[in-house]
Amino acid sequence: MIDLRERVQDEVGKVVIGQRRVVDAVLVALGVGGHVLLEGVPGVAKTLLAAAVSRALGLDFKRVQFTPDMLPSDVTGTMALRDGRLAFRPGPIFANAVLADEVNRTPPKTQSALLEAMQERTITVDGKGHELPSPFIVIATQNPIEYEGTYPLPEAQLDRFLLKIDVGYPSEAEEKALLVLDRVDVTDPGHDAIEPAATPAEITAWRGEIRATRVAEEVVGYVAAIVRATRTLPAVELGASPRAGVHLLAAARATAYLAGRDFVTPDDVAGRINDVMRHRILLRPEAELDRYTPEDAIAAAMAIVPVPR
């Protein structure tokens, strides 16, 4: 719904200048039950965006700062004594919107606890399952992987993120505008100004409408052909998985819906393909040395496949 999108964008716009693509990405992911990975250098408002969008969506929000010494139970929760009895004490993952800040700073064991929760929507502690709230979205952030002291997420884990968004620097006009934004102080951008722009019922209704967005057979064929083409490129070691295809079509549906349409066009697919695929395509080392990027591979795959009319 264009209206819901505008309301959320307006609320987030009170504290964040620009970065509207990131806000749209969270809406797309929430609409289809997916999760988002935000990558960017420090100080480009990744954390601020995640907190602001969650608040604008009226979601119960928790932040987990990942560190090298963190244990899986610091995320999921643990059995603890309460009034002389052992009871489950839920970890910070039990929220509608979880900001997993700097996921690549924690070792693989803790990363996989998070990723399992994302996939299964339940947490198992001492053999007992605990269901996570609904809706449930993880917004993870990471600094670009060349940084020291990081544990890059393996491809299999990355494949679970619906979208990966590169959060870049603002434009010159945005840079000036963010400097003169009214802030409480340098650490408090004034989140309190953000009003919830959506109710849980609206979010549920909105998800139902996304699911009902029509996809013509030609568009299904288009998605399948692109996914398959990524697996045939000489520069590619590991192409897109079937899950990547499912994610691409879902993201295209939500994108069409946010644009106010009840059917998916090939442009909806093309407009999301980099966000869905860039983190799932593994290049051969030679290609990487040649500065060939996953985006180049995606473009090459799309060039092979005729666009349906």
Ligand X SMILES: Nc1ncnc2c1ncn2[C@@H]1O[C@H](COP(=O)(O)OP(=O)(O)OP(=O)(O)O)[C@@H](O)[C@H]1O
Nearer to ligand X, 178 or 225 (CB): 178
- Taking CB under 5 A as the rule, does residue 76 contact Mg ion? no
Question: According to the binding rule CB under 5 A, does residue 47 interact with Mg ion?
Answer: yes
Q: How far is the CB of 293 from ligand X (least distance, A)?
A: 22
Does position 19 interact with Mg ion (CB under 5 A)? The reply is no
The DSSP-derived string for 85-146 is: EEEEEE-TT-SSEEEEETGGGS-HHHHHHHHHHHHHSEEEETTEEEEPPSS-EEEEEE--TT
Selected from 8, 12, 16, 36, the binder of ligand X by CB under 6 A is 16
Q: What angle do CA 55, 61, 65 make, to 5 degrees?
A: 120
Task: Give the distance from CA 41 to its chain's centroid.
Answer: 17
Q: Tokens 């997916």 belong to which residue?
A: 34
**C-alpha distances out from residue 164 to 5, 35, 121, 127, Å:** 20, 9, 20, 32
The distance of Cα 185 from the centroid of its chain, to the nearest Å, equals: 29
**CA 282/CA 294 separation, integer angstroms:** 7
For residues 119 to 148, the per-residue mask of contacts with ligand X, x marking binding by CB under 6 A and - elsewhere, is ------------------------x-----
Q: Which is nearer to ligand X, 100 or 298 (CB)?
A: 100
SS3 284: coil
**Residue count at the site for ligand X (CB under 6 A)?**
17
Report in angstroms how near the CB of residue 71 gets to ligand X at its nearest: 22
Minimum Å distance from CB 222 to ligand X? 35
Query: Residues 184-223 vs ligand X: string with x where CB under 6 A?
Result: -----x----------------------------------
Is there a contact between 97 and 60 (Cβ–Cβ < 8 Å)? Answer: yes
Scanning 43-51, 54-62, 91-99, 270-278 for contacts with ligand X by CB under 6 A, the matching segment is 43-51
Using CB under 6 A as the binding rule, whether residue 181 contacts ligand X is answered as yes
Tokens 């560190």 — which residue? 67
For the window 45-74, what string marks contact with ligand X as x by the rule CB under 6 A?
Answer: xxxx--------------------------
Strand partners, 12: none
Are residues 141 and 99 in contact, defined by beta-carbon separation less than 8 angstroms? Answer: yes
Residue 104 in the binding site for Mg ion (CB under 5 A): no
List contacts with Mg ion (CB under 5 A). 46-47
List contacts with ligand X (CB under 6 A). 16-19, 40, 42-48, 143, 170, 178, 181, 189
